[in-house]
């Protein structure tokens, strides 16, 4: 999904792990950008913060947030890559509160750079490790970050850049795109062992099924080895298995 | 310009641009004079109860921890803090009840380490108030507008979201393109504190690595405290003036604090002290633990050197240097098993 010779603006956690894997395998010339100013690093290990010195290790530039965010707004970011606590069928994301805003059950960190990345990137990829009825919701408790808002044309109507918006959603069950006409979530591919039922049982909203649903390829053993031994040996993001 | 909608977040730290200019001409000197002082004096002189404060760096990176600890020791109260991706600094300032209002871009988390038990508890029980939401670019551009001396910056971020609805921004029709655009108001924090790699006695400061928001923040803040790994001769600054990120005439205080970002990272110098951060995150699960932490590491220590000894002294600091240069493996002691 992350192509060589393209730029990707990565958020913290799983997106960094995925971008590192891409850089170590099929996309050695992937241009990775971080909001705090790191551009084009050859990531030596997993950065804990998107602001630390690893984010420009052997990089081409260590600059400012103003610089990176301005480049993004001006159209230089091909892919935005974010995690999410909650998402609805239009790819709108919540990372601000669980429960009511005035009396939150859980106060989450807020947008950080997520809203900016989703506003500015040409194609947004959302990655969620735990698809469930708690995370695939009818209505997000707080619309922190824009997906397609209420559907086709809504982003443009509120003034967001034309041609931008969510492109793919990746979960532990499958890979999704967005329906061309409605901009609602559409299943494109099932991971090994998963079924349409497991997809449906782990979502509050109806998921459109693409005409042809593919089977996600089994990741090569070599990729898993790179993930476990090189990228995240302390199992900070990947968790214990 | 036609205003289409307005966020309901509280507008903090905004001033009319002429009022801001007047404040500068009355309060900021262009005289080349030494501003070296102690941490104690800098905080006493420039940080007051009720101030709107901002910390430099980003998250756990290049944070002026010596100033943060001194704010706690001097028991400053009712502070409003810029949550411009403020994490460990904000977490302990909220936990110590110095900060009770936050404008949030990213707060109450420790990035990959997880959420902040202490400051989250304070927000969830109402003792710390979120006065407005924004985004990282949003905060950054509040500072940029302040730095430029203009009332707002137009941007295409936040449109269509609750983040905008709970921010202090407005949405207007852009008179050029006719499209909707977000107007991000200028911010002028009462005081900012920024940790740098080297600085002379006058305040000419050089940062190695990413500058994050510090070019803008240093210039829009009314008072600016610089803490530095080392104070160097002005001749060294003059040899490489292109490395200067902060010029002396915007600086009010210069404090030398080696390892002054600990337990946070200092790019190219030392890495995070993950064991120390894990200890805080574990203790801050309870109010008693929070008190224990502050007694041990803040209230009963004489100075920053004493604090560093408590944290493991030279052996620990040498380890953090090796860790920064990838000579030691990653550890994650805060990880839930």
Give me the residue from A13, A66, A110 closest to B144, CB to CB.
A66
The dihedral region occupied by A198, where left means phi > 0, alpha psi between -120 and 50, and beta the remainder, is: alpha
A160 with A150: CB under 8 angstroms? Answer: no
B138 with B129: CB under 8 angstroms? Answer: no
A96 touches chain B (CB under 8 A): yes
Give me the residue from B59, B135, B141 closest to A115, CB to CB.
B135
Task: Give the Cα separation of B234 and B191 in Å (integer).
Answer: 25
Task: Give the Cα separation of A207 and A177 in Å (integer).
Answer: 10
* Cis preceding-peptide flag for A98 (omega within 30 of 0): no
Beta-carbon pairs below 8 A across chains A and B: 209
Structural element, H or E, at residue A197: helix A196-200
B199 with B206: CB under 8 angstroms? Answer: yes
Q: Do B161 and A145 make contact, defined as CB atoms within 8 angstroms? A: yes
pLDDT of residue A2: 84
Q: Give pLDDT tens digits for A66-124.
A: 999 999 999 999 999 999 989 999 999 999 999 999 989 999 999 999 999 999 999 99
pLDDT of residue B336: 72
B25 touches chain A (CB under 8 A): no
Question: Which residue among the candidates A35, A45, A222, A230 is catalytic per the annotation?
Answer: A35
A62 touches chain B (CB under 8 A): yes
Give me the residue from B57, B106, B215 closest to A111, CB to CB.
B106
Tell me, rounded to whole angstroms, the distance of Cα A129 from its chain centroid.
11
Q: Which residue of B has its CA nearest to A151?
A: B160
Q: Mean of the pLDDT values across residues A36-65?
A: 96
A145 with A82: CB under 8 angstroms? Answer: yes
Task: Give the Cα separation of B152 and B318 in Å (integer).
Answer: 45
Nearest CA to B143 out of A73, A66, A147 is that of A66
Q: Do B166 and A120 make contact, defined as CB atoms within 8 angstroms? A: no
Q: What is the pTM of this model?
A: 0.97
Task: Give the Cα separation of A119 and B159 in Å (integer).
Answer: 8
Q: Do B212 and A37 make contact, defined as CB atoms within 8 angstroms? A: yes
**What percent of chain A stands above pLDDT 70?**
99
Please, what is the end-to-end C-alpha distance for chain A in angstroms?
25
Q: Do A113 and B268 make contact, defined as CB atoms within 8 angstroms? A: no
Give me the residue from A44, A111, A160 closest to B163, CB to CB.
A111
A91 touches chain B (CB under 8 A): no
pLDDT of residue B337: 52
A113–chain B nearest CA distance, Å: 5
Q: Suggest the residue from B82, B146, B163, B180 to mutate for an interface test with chain A (most A CBs closer than 10 A).
A: B163
Q: Where are the beta strands (DSSP E) in A20-172?
A: 31-33, 38-39, 61-62, 79-83, 86-87, 93-94, 97-99, 104-107, 123-127, 166-170
Mean pLDDT of chain A: 95
pLDDT tens digits for chain B (337 residues)? 899 999 999 999 999 999 999 999 999 999 999 999 999 999 999 999 999 999 999 999 999 999 999 999 999 999 999 999 999 999 999 999 999 999 999 999 998 998 899 999 999 999 999 999 999 999 999 999 999 999 999 999 999 999 999 999 999 999 999 999 999 999 999 999 999 999 999 999 999 999 999 999 999 999 999 999 999 999 999 999 999 999 999 999 999 999 999 999 999 999 999 999 999 999 999 999 999 999 999 999 999 999 999 999 999 999 999 999 999 999 999 987 5
Q: Suggest the residue from B115, B135, B243, B268 to mutate for an interface test with chain A (most A CBs closer than 10 A).
A: B135
A152 touches chain B (CB under 8 A): no
Place of tokens 């850049």: A161
B5 touches chain A (CB under 8 A): no
Kindly state the greatest CA–CA separation across chain B: 62
With a CB cutoff of 8 Å and minimum separation 6, the contacts of B41 are: B253
Alpha helices (H) in chain B, listed in sequence order = 17-27, 39-46, 65-73, 88-95, 117-124, 136-148, 162-165, 214-220, 234-239, 274-283, 287-294, 304-310, 313-324
Residues 168-227 (A) with a CB less than 8 A from some CB of B: none
Burial label for B333, CB within 10 Å (0-12, 13-18, 19+), is middle
ipTM of the predicted structure? 0.97
Place of tokens 């508890």: B121
A27 with A2: CB under 8 angstroms? Answer: yes
Task: Give the Cα separation of B62 and A51 in Å (integer).
Answer: 9
Whether A35 is catalytic is yes
């Amino acid at each position: 999904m992350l192509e060589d010779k393209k730029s990707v603006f990565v958020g913290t956690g799983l997106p960094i792990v995925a971008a590192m894997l891409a850089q170590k395998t099929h996309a050695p010339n992937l241009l990775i950008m971080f909001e705090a100013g790191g551009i084009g690093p050859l990531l030596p290990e997993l950065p804990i913060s998107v602001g630390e010195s690893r984010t420009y290790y052997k990089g081409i530039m260590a600059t400012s947030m103003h610089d990176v965010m301005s480049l993004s707004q001006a159209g230089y970011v091909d892919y935005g890559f974010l995690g999410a606590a909650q998402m609805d069928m239009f790819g709108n994301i919540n990372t601000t509160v669980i429960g009511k805003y005035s009396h939150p059950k859980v106060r989450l960190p807020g947008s950080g750079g997520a809203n900016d990345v989703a506003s500015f990137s040409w194609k947004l990829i959302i990655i969620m490790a735990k698809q469930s009825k708690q995370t695939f919701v009818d209505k997000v408790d707080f619309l922190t970050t824009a997906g397609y808002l209420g559907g086709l044309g809504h982003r443009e109507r509120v003034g967001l850049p034309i041609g931008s918006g969510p492109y793919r959603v990746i979960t532990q069950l499958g890979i999704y795109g967005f329906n061309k006409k409605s901009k609602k979530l559409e299943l494109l591919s099932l991971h090994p062992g998963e079924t349409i039922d497991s997809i449906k049982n782990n979502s509050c909203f109806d998921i459109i099924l693409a005409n042809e649903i593919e089977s996600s390829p089994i990741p090569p053993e070599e990729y898993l080895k790179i993930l476990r031994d090189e990228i995240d040996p302390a199992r900070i993001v990947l968790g214990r298995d | 310009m036609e205003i289409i909608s307005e966020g309901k977040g509280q507008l903090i730290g905004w001033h009319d641009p002429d009022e801001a200019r007047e404040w500068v001409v009355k309060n900021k000197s262009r005289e080349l004079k030494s501003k070296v002082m102690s941490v104690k004096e800098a905080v006493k002189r420039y940080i007051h109860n009720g101030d709107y404060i901002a910390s430099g760096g980003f998250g756990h990176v290049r944070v002026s921890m010596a100033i943060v600890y001194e704010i706690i020791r001097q028991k400053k109260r009712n502070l409003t803090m810029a949550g411009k991706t403020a994490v460990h600094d904000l977490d302990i300032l909220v936990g110590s009840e110095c900060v009770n209002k936050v404008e949030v871009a990213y707060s109450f988390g420790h990035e990959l380490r997880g959420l902040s038990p202490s400051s989250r508890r304070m927000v969830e029980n109402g003792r710390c108030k979120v006065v407005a939401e924004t985004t990282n670019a949003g905060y950054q551009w509040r500072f940029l507008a302040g730095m430029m001396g203009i009332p707002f910056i137009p941007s295409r971020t936040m449109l269509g979201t609750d983040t905008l609805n709970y921010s202090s921004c407005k949405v207007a029709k852009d008179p050029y393109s006719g499209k909707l655009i977000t107007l991000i108001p200028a911010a002028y924090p009462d005081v900012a504190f920024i940790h740098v790699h080297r600085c002379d006695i006058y305040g000419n400061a050089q940062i190695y690595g990413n500058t994050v928001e510090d070019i803008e923040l240093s210039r829009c803040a009314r008072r600016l405290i610089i803490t530095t790994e080392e104070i160097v001769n002005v001749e060294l600054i003059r040899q490489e003036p292109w490395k200067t990120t902060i010029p002396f005439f915007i600086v009010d205080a210069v404090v030398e604090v080696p390892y002054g970002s600990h337990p946070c990272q200092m790019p190219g110098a030392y890495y995070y002290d993950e064991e120390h951060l894990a200890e805080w995150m574990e203790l801050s699960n309870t109010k008693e633990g929070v008190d224990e932490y502050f007694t041990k590491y803040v209230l009963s220590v004489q100075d920053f050197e004493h604090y560093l000894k408590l944290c493991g002294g030279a052996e620990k600091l040498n380890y953090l240097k090796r860790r920064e240069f990838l000579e030691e493996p990653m550890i994650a002691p805060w990880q839930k098993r």
